[in-house]
Amino acid sequence: MMVNRKILTLDEFTIQQLRQFPTATGELSSLLRDMGLAAKRVNVEVNKAGLVDILGDAGSINIQGEDVKKLDVYANNQFMGALKHGISCAGIGSEELDDFVIFDDEVSNNSKYVVLFDPLDGSGNIDVNISIGTIFSVYRRVSPKGSPCTREDFLQPGNRQVAAGYIIYGSSTMLVYATKRGVNGFTLDPSIGEFCLSHPNIQCPESGNFYSVNHGYFFQYQKGVQQYITACQKKTKSEGGPYTQRYIGSMVADVHRNLLKGGIFMYPGTDSKPNGKLRLLYECNPLAFIIEVAGGKATNGEQRILDIQPQQLHQRSPLFIGSKLMMEELENYLMQNK
């Protein structure tokens, strides 16, 4: 039987990339393998979520006041476990854990990276069979190797990310990750249990006709945001309009669509929640890094997401992210209404 050797697996791809950097140690490839392994385990549970006792609430509330789902906890433990057992990661920060976790063992103290992640994004959609995801961000530690990593290693601005990625558990399961060199997407082939390179060198179209925002909060958004949303609805046919509104409630799925097809995703602040809902370190930063490498833009309405100096693990930020020209049009409306 002929074997299709044209399609690279995730491991083959990262190892090929490594070859181009003679000084590279392979720790990033190894870290991505750890993330891929945990993702496959989570994928199995997500897929049988209707069959076994994995749906529903875990019965606890996380530090941000959200009801925790059983799959939130399961995914958190899988990613944390895979990173702890691997050789590349000195510590983690997660949406579902109150504070950073410093691994502090002989191997981890000599590891090069720290990882921040949202184990399950869109977890409100778990019980209703809608796409959910995982989002992660990788930084090179700034503290010296040989001892446990420190808080400073985690509180670096997004422009210092070495890599960022997400997994989407959808009609197929995909892992997309970016380094400064490019964004690549891998689809899980369930017959062999491997992520295979299906979307090489992803570029975000300069413009598109999708806009993703929670319309329910329309009247709580600032004037500039309201005007931009209205402009999306008023686009003429020759401008590609009216734009299509798509909002799944799983940011990772909304941003994935807009990354591939062209579009804009917004989670603005409101009067009562000026920083919106999304978390800077493990939701906004990784997606901002990916979209920028792919040619798009991401801001908090005032500055580039990646330039924000983080102060704490769970801090929130408004997020506007997507195709370059759509972002520029939005920025004009925001500026005019300052």
Judge whether 121 is annotated as a binding position: yes
Please pick, from the candidates 12, 45, 66, 329, the single residue that binds ligand AHG as defined by CB under 6 A: 66
Asked if residue 206 lies in contact with residue 194, where contact means CB atoms within 8 angstroms, the answer is no
With contacts defined by CB under 6 A, name the span among 104-112, 151-159, 197-205, 245-253 that binds ligand AHG.
245-253
Query: Shortest Cβ distance from residue 58 to ligand AHG (Å)?
Result: 13
Please pick, from the candidates 11, 12, 45, 66, the single residue that binds Mn ion as defined by CB under 5 A: 66
Query: Shortest Cβ distance from residue 276 to ligand AHG (Å)?
Result: 9
Asked if residue 75 lies in contact with residue 99, where contact means CB atoms within 8 angstroms, the answer is no
In this structure, the dihedral spanned by the alpha carbons of residues 68, 72, 73 and 78, taken in order and rounded to 10 degrees, is: -170
With contacts defined by CB under 5 A, name the span among 77-85, 119-127, 163-171, 185-193 that binds Mn ion.
119-127
Q: What does the DSSP assignment read for 302-323?
A: SSBGGG----STT-B--EEEE-
Site string for ligand AHG, 88-127 (x = CB under 6 A): -------x----------------------x--xxxx---
Interacting positions 94-113 with Mn ion (CB under 5 A):
95
> At a CB cut-off of 8 Å and minimum separation 6, what does 56 contact?
69, 70, 127
Instruction: Please report where in the chains the tokens 């580039």 appear, as a residue.
Output: 304
Q: SS3 letters for 133-187? A: EEEEEEEECCCCCCCCCCHHHHCCCHHHEEEEEEEEECCCEEEEEEECCEEEEEE
With contacts defined by CB under 6 A, name the span among 49-57, 76-84, 185-193, 249-257 that binds ligand AHG.
249-257
**Chain residues in the site for ligand AHG (CB under 6 A):** 66, 95, 118, 121-124, 214, 249-251, 277
Q: Per the annotation, where are the binding residues for Mg(2+)?
A: 95, 118, 120-121, 283
